[in-house]
Structure 1
Amino acid sequence: MAIVIRNSIQEITLQLLQYIHLANKKNAPCGVILAPCANMNPKTLEQAKVLISKNVAFLPVQLFYDAPNQVLCAVLDGGTLGSTHYASLVLKDFLQTQHLLQGQLRVSSFPESGKPTESAIADFIQQVIQSKGNDDDIHFFTAANAETSVLIADPDDLVREFIKIRLELKGYRVYEAKDGQEAYDTFVRIMPDIVITELNLPILDGYQLIRTIQRKDSHEGKVIVLTDKQLTGSMSRAYESGAADYVTKPLSISELEWKIKRLTGNH
């Protein structure tokens, strides 16, 4: 007699897949919100469900808590990416008020965000688990490009947020840094596939960051400079430091994504 052994990630993956496939069989999308939480009891779970139901009354909501991985799962039958994102804002506010949120929320909708395969859903869950201890922002998950990680280094909060949201909607895993030192520390920790950096960075400037990355990992061909410096001398110096490409502001997200795909071979 064969004995099937499932790990905790596989259990929650299969449970989510069941919800998603049931919705998709009805030709309806299925929105999913995942959040790393501690100590979710039945009472707080019901409170969260009631709150979401009041704010998105047109969508049936199911909530369950995976205790082994400490992940809260909210499933919205018929939820598009837009409506699921709205529900995640409501859920985030509740979890913060209750001091339960331990990291980043992840939001997705299937099939809008990609094909809901077992490997894609498992990666979705892993990203949430790995976000524990990080900021409590909301990030989008898309099955396509989900394995490509991007680090954005820019002192401008609005620029970082704009790029992050647009790339996450395309399915990239995005990390942020506001200065050169934070960017390097993050690079060492996560080893991203692509680094997008402004040249005007505090502490370590963009040129220093590129050279430091090269010494650490020979990350040749993986750094894209994104800057408002359009002088020929700045471009030459960036390439000499080890940059693989150069994009000037105001940027085109389509152009930036094309350059990312070209450098990662993900055409």
Structure 2
Amino acid sequence: MSDPKKIVLAEDNSIFLLLLKFRLEKEGYKILTAVDGKEAIELIEEHSPELILTDIMMPFISGLEVISHVRNKLNMQTPIIVFSSAGQEEIVLKAFDLGATDFMSKPLSPNELVIRVKRLLP
């Protein structure tokens, strides 16, 4: 059996983070969690995950800066799904400009997230 696919999950809401971690681990993924963008970048550099899930609004380093770092500094083509509260169209467009693969608005359905993850990690 192959190793489980690694996903870095960056979310500053600890309850939401645990909910998504639990749901994705149930599907067989290895979830590396970060509570801010700085931690996310450290995990990405250390583990080269197959997928990155990040909130946009986080302490220290935002999700947008995480996307920029992954695409421009690390030159990684890893798929990135960003989440953000509704009504922030400008930020969403910026995320896509920086290289985000997909976007989900909060509150989001963990089941829908699993479907999108499976689409990106066949």
Give the TM-score of the pair, scaled to structure 1: 0.43
Report how many residues are paired.
122
1:135: which partner in 2? none
Query: 1:243 maps to what in 2?
Result: 100
Of structures 1 and 2, the larger Rg is shown by 1
1:228 aligns with 2:85: yes
The residue that corresponds to 2:113 in the other structure is 256
Shift of 1:221: 5.5
Q: Which amino acid aligns with 1:149?
A: K
For the residue of structure 1 that corresponds to 2:103, the secondary structure is strand
Q: Alignment partner of 1:224: what SS? A: strand
Q: Is the 8 A contact 2:52 2:78 kept in 1?
A: no
- The Cα shift of 1:227 comes to 1.7
Alignment match of 1:217 (pick from 71, 74, 93): 74
Please list, as runs of the form range in 1=range in 2, the aligned pairs for 1:80-99 lying within 5 A after superposition.
Answer: none
The aligned residue for residue 33 of structure 2 is 176
Q: Which residue of 2 aligns with 1:150?
A: 7
Matched letter for residue 77 of structure 2: E
Shift in Å at residue 260 of structure 1? 1.2
- Residue 140 of structure 1 corresponds to none
Residue 149 (structure 1) shift: 1.1
The equivalent position to 1:186 in structure 2, one of 32, 37, 43, is 43
Q: Which residue of 1 aligns with 2:63?
A: 206
Whether the 8 Å CA contact 1:221–1:242 is kept in 2: the answer is no
Superimposed CA distance per residue, residues 154-201 of structure 1 (whole angstroms, 9 cap, x where no aligned partner) = 111111100000111111110100111111001101111111101101
Deviation readout 1:10-60 (Å, 9 max, x if unpaired): xxxxxxxxxxxxxxxxxxxxxxxxxxxxxxxxxxxxxxxxxxxxxxxxxxx
| CA RMSD across the alignment | 1.5
The TM-score with structure 2 as length reference comes to: 0.91
Contact 1:207/1:238 (CA < 8 Å) preserved in 2? yes
Would the alpha carbon gap of residues 193 and 227 (structure 1) be closer, same or farther in structure 2, given more than 3 Å must change?
same
Match of 1:94 in 2: none
Percent of matched pairs sharing the same residue: 28
Runs of at least 5 residues in structure 2 that lack an aligned partner in the other structure: none
For residue 219 of structure 1, give the secondary structure of its aligned residue in structure 2: coil
CA distance in 2, matches of 1:174, 1:203: 21
Q: Is the 8 A contact 1:150 1:195 kept in 2?
A: yes
**Aligned residue in 2 for 1:196:** 53
Equivalent position SS for 1:220: coil
1:221·1:263 contact (CA, 8 Å) conserved in 2?
no
**Please, which of 2, 17, 33 is the counterpart of residue 160 of structure 1?**
17
Q: Once the 2 structures are TM-superposed, how far is the Cα of residue 216 of structure 1 from its aligned partner? A: 3.5
| Superposition misfits of 4+ residues, deviation over 6 angstroms | none
